[in-house]
Every structure is written in C-alpha cells, then in structure tokens.
A and B are shown apart, each in its own frame.
Chain A
Amino acid sequence: MLDLEVAYRSMVRMRAVEEAVQLGVISGEIHGEMHVGIGQEAIAAGIEPLLTDDDAVVSTHRPHLHALVHRVNPVAMLAELFERDGGLCHGKGGHMHLFSPDRDFMCTGIVGASVPIALGYAFARHYRERAGLAVAVLGDGAANIGAFAESLNLAALWRLPVVFLCEDNGYGISVARDAATAGAIERRGEPYGIPGRRVDGTDVTAVYDAAEQAFGQARAGQPALLVCDCYRWSGHYEGDTDHYRAQAEKDAAMTAERDPIQRLRARLIAGRANEDELTEAEAAERARVAEWVAEARAKPSPNPADALSGVFV
C-alpha cells in the first residue's frame, strides 16, 4: 500500500542524500565521476512499498535512490560515496559499484549490464522455488544495448520473475532520447510477450499503481516492463557543463509541478495534510540524513596498501 506521507518523507531523504553528495563533489571529498538522481525520486518511492526482503535490485550508474528504497544501509552507502573505509566496499567500488549482498542489491557502471545480471538474481529465485523477484533498473539509453533485447527474450522464455524498470530521463549523457531511440521503449517487450507500460515518473501514485501490477505479474513468473518518464535535473555527472540542453527546455521541465517532491507536497496540502507538520517532517528527514552523512564522513580513509588485496576471494 502506498502511504503518501511515507513516500514524501522517503523522497525528501533521497533529495537530501543527493544534495549532500553534490556538496561532497564541490568540497573535493568525492573526487570521481558522480551521477545523482535529482528529479527521479518518485520512481524509487513508487516501488518502495512493493519491494520485499526477498527481492533483488540491480541498478545503474545512477543508483543511490534504488539503494535507499531497498534498504541498503545508508551510512555504509554514503561512506562508499565519500571514498571512506568501513562502507559498503571499503573504497574499492565507489558510487557506480555498490554491493550490499545482505539486501541483494548491486549496481554496475556499464550501461545496460544491469539487465542480464538481474536475470541471474531472478533465475536463482526461480531455481530455488523461493519467493522474490529481481528489479532490473535501466535508463532510456540502455534500452538500445543488445543485452536488453537478449534479456527480454530470455526472461520471457524462462518465465523469470523480473521487472524491467526503465527510468526515461530523456537523455543519454548529451544525446536526447528521440535522437537515439526509435519507437516506444515500453513496447519493446511486446514481441516477446512482455507487457509494457509508460507512466509519469514524477507522480509517485502513477508509478506505484503501474509498478503494483508489474510486480504482481513478475511474482507470478510473467516478466514485466515499466517505463517511467522523468527529467534529469542535474547534468549527466556533477560538473557537466550541460550546455547541450537548451535553457528554455530546462525551464519548462524543471518546474514545481514537475518536481516529484514539490508535486507531492502540493497534493498533500491540497488534501488534509498540515503544512507545518510537513515542514517539520521534512526538517526531521533532512536532519536524519545529515547524521548519516556526518557518520559516513567520520570514517577513516582507506589504507593505500589495501589497493593490492582482494582481487580473488
């Protein structure tokens, strides 16, 4: 069941995490390439109530929001993002390669590679006749890699419990979706018998409603494809000059009405929510994230000698 106030709090936390990460890039604590999901929060929040402890999530180079909603330890994740020891991967993975096997969460920096790996997590559940599904997160750009087509076929053929969750933020780095993608991504499963839908990915209710159906199908062994429209509010990476998107386009796309958080806030207020209580809740969530960030940043730097160990287990 989607509880809108819970979803609101969750999205506020996501935004606060991503903003803290942006500050970490500016301060130089995070020296590597960094991709944040600002503007895409409603997608993660929309699947959050549907994810169970039995499920796996395989995400992309823009993974933080999915990790948060699959209940990966947020301090351990932030420690990894801030290049500390004592986090998820002890400084060896970084933000595109987060691994939390206790939650069956991982992500990969190679566009599209998440999709077949998610099939493996789904296969293991299917093979063991265990509950649970796998969510293969991909972007609109990844829809054009051959592995996506191969995986749709294989998932359908083997009736794997997998949801293909495509976050269509309109861009693959600088190339607009329509310049790279023919036809409708949500229809790409049809030839394989995989039903697809496209929803407004800034509307958490729309995402939830469609995801509820998709997750239900996948749990019954019918793979499902869900495409969520959103807009990438940041550049491809932090520091991207982003000159390739027209200002008029950005102004039109990045409005309060299309900000998933402000949109939900307005809706809650239009309902019977008390505005002061929402503001308090938001402050409380931001304070919580600030504590996570402080705890993560307080962890020690990795020992350079550890760079040479751990190639094999």
Chain B
Amino acid sequence: MSTATNPALQLNMSQLLSRALEAEMGRDDRIVVFGEDVGGLGGVFGATRNLQRRFGERRVRDTPISEMAFTGLAVGAAQAGLRPVVELMFVDFIGVCLDQVYNQAAKNAYMSGGAVSVPLVLRTAVGLIGAAAQHSQVLSATFAHLPGLKVVMPGTPGDGPGLLLSAIRDENPVVFLEHKLLLKQRAGTARHPGAIDALDQPIPLGQAATVRSGGDLTIATAGWAVQQSLEAASVLADDGIEAEVVDLRSLVPLDRETLTSSAARTGRLLVVDEDYLSYGMSGELIAVVCEELWEHRPRVARHALPDVPIPASRPLEEAVMPNPRTIAEAARRLVLA
C-alpha cells in the first residue's frame, strides 16, 4: 500500500495504539490491560478505546485510583505468567508508585539471578499540553537512569504500533512514553511517516531512525521534539544549514551506533529534549558522543527544558518549551560559532 492512500494516515497515535493493542490481545491471551479509565472510557487519551468492548472486563480493567496496588499487581501477574499492559494516566503520577516500578519490576530479573522475568509494559502520557507542573513532564531520563527498565518513546504516530508490539513482546519491563501531542496527531500530518505502512511489524527496540539526512549537524532527540526538530530543520535548510535528525525511538536500549556515526559525519551534535536539562538525556548523549569521538573533538550543545517546574499560562509555558524557532537558534549557534 502506498503511503498516500493508506487509510491509517487519517488516524492519530492513540487510535493506532489501540488497534495495535487490540490485534496483539487477539493473538496473545496473556495480555491484560489495567489502569484508570481504560475500560468504558477507553483511556483519557483514547489509547485503549474499544478494548473492553471486545475483550470484556476480565481482560480490560478499570482500576481504582490506587497506583501502588495496580502497578504492584502487574509485577506479580507478570511474574506469574501474564503480560500486563498498565496505563499510568500521566507520567507525573509515577511519584506515587515508583517503588513498584524501579525497586520491583526493574530489579527482580537481576536480583533473582535470571530466575524470573517481569514482562510488563507501563504506558504513560508525557509532555507539555497546558496542564502545568504536575501533568506536563516527560521524565524519560528518570526511568532511563534506573537500571532494568527499557524506555521507549515514539517520535511519530506511525512508529507507535511497531514500538508497542516490541514492548509487549519483550521479556523485560518497558516504560512506554506517549507524548500527548502525538497521541492527538493524525499520522498523515506528521513530519515523517515512520512505519505507517508496516503497522503490524514490530520495530526492534534500540534502533534509532535517521528521519532526515544532512551534513552540517546532528540533532538527536525523541518524542514530540522529533516533530519540532524536523520543522526546525526545514527552517535551517532555508539558511543553507542541513541538519541530520535522529529519532532515538528508545532511550534504553540506546542506539549508540546511529548516534555516534551521525555525529562523526557532521562533527556537531545538538540534543533536543523536552525533559529537564540537568543530569538528563542531553548530557548523557553528549557524554557518549564525546567519549567515543574525542579525537574528532565534536562540537556539542543541548537544548532542553530549563530546570523549572512547568508553568501553566500559555506565554509562560511557551517560554520554557523547546520549539522549532528555539531549536533552529540553538542549531545556528552551534554551526556558526
């Protein structure tokens, strides 16, 4: 099917994800879905729509607002042979149940010497959407910092299903970060199609996608910032600056090869991150590249959310969020300096 006529282009990422989940649940009866409002409502962002109607309350369960209990329940159920897909409505809520994620799910395979595995997926919505400091974070680096969790973040709606299939089929706990703006974005309006023509094919975790080629700098990023960076790249192209944009797709495992080989070619790396600046993904990617390419003395820069809680009012929110203009400015500084 050619991209232009693919009806999936009319669907947003939440619709694409719910279809992928539905298909995978049809194939694998070990999959159960838990979370707040995942049943009748189909998820506050719609990513579990139709699932309860198709599979019943036995497999698709609204939970009470008890994140500690239902994430812990998912850990036990995974160890007992099921494959829970848990929705944490907003990633910001991880504060009330992190223990079960980082002390139990993430560690049990290692602590058991490989005797147990915890194949669960924690799906959660991230990113700025006008909901202020407690409902707008990304927190990808928080999870990526903790050993034992895979961390996946689609950068375009078309990659959502393939990445989700890999996450569900993985034997390890996977934190699946869904940007709210991507959940609402129709695949056809995205700045790159991703795997929209191969939605039933799992996308291996740890495989970045070079979504734009260019020789002047590498922009490495993930999530909604991929779309923003591509927009910035087209602005830069008008100025004669060609940016290569690498969509990491997963932070853990990290595709070091694609990252460093691109940075080696361009000699410049800009990391764009909607998560906080300090101790974050931007510093980590730059460290990886500098350690690997120190002989080439790569020039590096980071553009991330400043270290402030995210404000509510639109002008204030826009002042902290990386956007195509600020990304292009950061890229120009790096290239022209």
Chain A: residues with CB nearer than 8 A to chain B? 56, 58, 88-94, 97, 99-101, 104, 106, 108, 110, 113, 115-125, 127-128, 134, 146-147, 150-151, 153-154, 157-158, 310-313
Contacts and interface: CB of A to CB of B under 8 A. Distances in A.
Contacts of B117: 313
A110 B64 contact: no
A187 B74 CA distance: 27
Given A93-B111, A117-B73, A153-B64, 6 more contacts: A90-B113, A117-B75, A120-B76, A120-B80, A124-B77, A312-B148
Contact of A311 (B81, B116, B147): B147
Nearest to B80: A124
B122 interface: no
Contacts of A154: 63-64, 66, 69-70, 73
9 contacts: A88-B115, A93-B112, A101-B115, A101-B116, A120-B79, A121-B79, A158-B61, A310-B113, A313-B171
B99 interface: yes
A215 B24 CA distance: 36
Nearest to B114: A310
A72 to B, nearest CB: 11
Contact of A113 (B81, B84, B100): B100
Given A119-B76, A120-B79, A151 B69 contact: yes
Contacts of B172: 312-313
Interface in B7-32: 32
B258 interface: no
Nearest to A157: B64
Given A56-B80, A127-B58, A153-B66, A117 B113 contact: no
A283 B150 CA distance: 51
A195 to B, nearest CB: 20
Nearest to A98: B112
Interface stretch (B102-110, B219-227, B321-329): B102-110
Given A100-B115, A101-B115, A124-B77, A311 B72 contact: no
A128 B32 CA distance: 11
Contacts of A104: 80
A167 to B, nearest CB: 19
Q: Max chain A CB contacts within 10 Å: which of B64, B104, B115, B116?
A: B115
A120 B74 CA distance: 6
Contacts of B58: 127
A237 B100 CA distance: 24
Nearest to B65: A150
A106 B68 CA distance: 18
Residue of B73, B82, B110 ringed by the most chain A CB atoms within 10 A? B73
A90 B111 CA distance: 9
A7 to B, nearest CB: 29
B124 interface: no
B71 interface: yes
Given A154-B73, A313-B171, A116 B109 contact: no
A146 B95 CA distance: 13
B32 A99 contact: no
Given A146-B68, A154-B64, A310-B109, A99 B82 contact: no
Contacts of B78: 120
Given A127-B58, A157-B64, A311 B148 contact: yes
B115 A110 contact: no
Nearest to A104: B80
Q: From A99, A120, A123, name the one whose CB has the most chain B CB atoms within 10 angstroms.
A: A120
A150 B73 CA distance: 11
Contacts of A90: 113-114
Contacts of A153: 64, 66, 69
A150 B64 contact: yes
B76 A150 contact: no
A110 B76 contact: no
Contacts of B72: 113, 115-117, 119-120, 147, 151
